[in-house]
Amino acid sequence: MLTPPQVVENYFLESRHMLLEIAAAFDRYDAAVARAANGNAQATENEKNSGAKKLAVMRKALEIVAQSHPARERTLALLELFATV
């Protein structure tokens, strides 16, 4: 079994990579919003509603991930959260 510092060390680069991918996805969304505001690539109302709900879930998921002392495992909380969309 790994020690706490070993867990951080072993998974730091992989976690860094995944967090950067998540950050890039949010930036990608903002860029798309800016393009849409300029009249490019308009979405339907259904797409907008679905997208807004999923975006809110993703933001909530990040809050859960960032908790230092969660009441229960973050993975369980996220799986339940993602089941709502």
Partner 1 sequence: MQIIQPHYHAIARTAQDYERMAMSGVVAVAEPAFWAGFDRLYPETFIDYFRQISEFEPTRAAQYGIRHFCWVAVNPKEAEDSILTREVLAQMPEFFAKPTVLGVGETGLHKSTRNECEALEAHVDLAMKHGQLVLIHTPHLADKAHGTQRVLEVLAGMNVDRERIWIDHVEEQTIKPCLDAGYWVGMTLYPITKCSPKRAADMLEKYGTERILVNSSADWGPSDPFTLQECILEYRRRGHSLQEAVEVFHNNPCRFLGQNPKFDILPISIETLIDQRANA
Interface residues with partner 1 (CB under 8 A)?
13-14, 17, 20-21, 24-25, 27-28, 31
Minimum Å gap between C-beta 13 and partner 1 is 5
Dump the DSSP string for the chain. ---HHHHHHHHHHHHHHHHHHHHHHHHHHHHHHHHHHTT-SPPPHHHHHHHHHHHHHHHHHHHHHT-SS-SS-HHHHHHHHHTT-
Minimum Å gap between C-beta 7 and partner 1 is 17
Minimum Å gap between C-beta 29 and partner 1 is 11
Query: Smaller CB distance to partner 1: residue 24 or 79?
Result: 24
